[in-house]
Amino acid sequence: MQSTLSVLALLASAVVAVPDTRSPGSPSSSVPNTFPDFTSCLSQPSVYSCENTTQIANTCCSPTPGGLVLQTQFWSTYTGLEKQGQKLPKGSWTIHGLWPDNCDGSFEQYCDLSRQYDPAPPAGVPAYKGPGVDTFIKEFGRDDLLEYMENYWINQGAPNKNFWAHEFSKHATCTSTFDLACYGPSYKKNQDVINFFDAVIRAFHQYPTFDMLASAGIMPSNKTSYSLGNIQNALKSQTAALPYLGCSHNGTVLSEVWYFSHVYGTEQYGTYKTLDTTTASTCSSTAPIWYYERTKTSEHEVRK
């Protein structure tokens, strides 16, 4: 009896030791809060982004003006950092990002230099020299998120964390539902960064490109090529919209896909309505398109 009680006391003190960023009186949880405070959105009209922007008064509630949301992915055959263990996930494309295009397809970038974490930004934007965004994720106790990102959000020729920082500072700072004001008075530094990374992964899960192509018999191959129409039809038949497809090597090697959508509600938790691309494909409409198999040593199994 005595020992059971002391074990319980130990467990209780372990729970208390978990960092807690919640405001007093909120329900108990061992996961630190990274959610925005969207209670003010209850009084807002419900509209899809870009479909009636005159109705959107509170830009925390719908991405505005960047209401044409793109979930973008890569198909690459190597990373260049295989020796350091940076490999590609078997059976999956990889994440590029989640971009807030304006309704006409133009876009802004690096909108808030107070949240600039990109170590290699373009000219005119100061380079970030502080701790990597991976340390932000660890501070919030989100090892699960970090593990997922290391598996599916892969950089080429530089560490993954640099790419995540680039995507946040270039795009999320221009997405109104991630504005600092949307987190309310209890905002904790970098909770917007974690909230964005979670949102990117949620959006990525809506578009399993590898599986959608495989279900139409389109598998990576170094022997069989496909036509642009084959690939477009496979994706359109499942998402009800035509994504942008990007090709390298003069339009002959498939390397990218961008899914366009309007969002009903917030980018974090709202519903995505997938729409046709506003950008013409860079893949040849006449030449054979190669969807190459990856270099064997550049891939690893990440599914459990």
Ligand X SMILES: *[C@@H]1O[C@H](CO)[C@@H](O)[C@H](O)[C@H]1NC(C)=O
Token representation of residue 25: 């009186």
Q: Rule CB under 6 A: is residue 46 a binding residue for ligand X?
A: no
Q: Rule CB under 6 A: is residue 292 a binding residue for ligand X?
A: yes
Q: Which residue has the tokens 């909770």?
A: 191
Q: Rule CB under 6 A: is residue 293 a binding residue for ligand X?
A: yes
Residues 230-289 that bind ligand X (CB under 6 A): 250-251, 284, 287
3-state percent helix, strand, coil for the chain, nearest multiple of 5: 35, 15, 50
Token representation of residue 20: 């807690």
Catalytic residue among 150, 167, 267, 299: 167
Query: CB 23 → ligand X: shortest distance, Å?
Result: 34
Give catalytic status of residue 167 as yes or no: yes
| Continuous H helices in the chain | 2-17, 133-139, 143-152, 160-171, 191-205, 209-214, 228-239
Catalytic residue among 171, 256, 267, 299: 171
Give catalytic status of residue 171 as yes or no: yes
Query: CB 75 → ligand X: shortest distance, Å?
Result: 11
**Choices 5-13, 49-57, 196-204, 254-262 (CB under 6 A): range interacting with ligand X:** 49-57
For residues 58 to 97, the per-residue mask of contacts with ligand X, x marking binding by CB under 6 A and - elsewhere, is -------------------x--------------------
Residues 95-124 that bind ligand X (CB under 6 A): none
Query: CB 252 → ligand X: shortest distance, Å?
Result: 8
Query: CB 228 → ligand X: shortest distance, Å?
Result: 12
Integer-rounded Cα Rg, in Å, for the chain is 21
Residue 117 or 291 having the CB closest to ligand X: 291
The DSSP bridge partners found for residue 88 are 299
- Work out which of 6, 222, 224, 237 binds ligand X, going by CB under 6 A: 222
**Separation CA 254–CA 277 (nearest Å):** 16
Token representation of residue 193: 């960064």
Q: Is the dihedral of CA 164, 169, 174, 178 positive or negative?
A: positive
**Separation CA 211–CA 144 (nearest Å):** 23
**Separation CA 66–CA 21 (nearest Å):** 30
Query: CB 53 → ligand X: shortest distance, Å?
Result: 8
Q: Rule CB under 6 A: is residue 296 a binding residue for ligand X?
A: yes
**Separation CA 79–CA 90 (nearest Å):** 13
Give catalytic status of residue 249 as yes or no: no
Q: What are phi and psi of 173, to 5 degrees?
A: -70, -10
- Work out which of 6, 30, 40, 52 binds ligand X, going by CB under 6 A: 52
Token representation of residue 249: 């090597």
Query: CB 93 → ligand X: shortest distance, Å?
Result: 16
User: Contact residues for ligand X (CB under 6 A)?
Assistant: 52, 54-55, 77, 222, 250-251, 284, 287, 292-293, 295-296
Residues classed as catalytic: 96, 167, 171
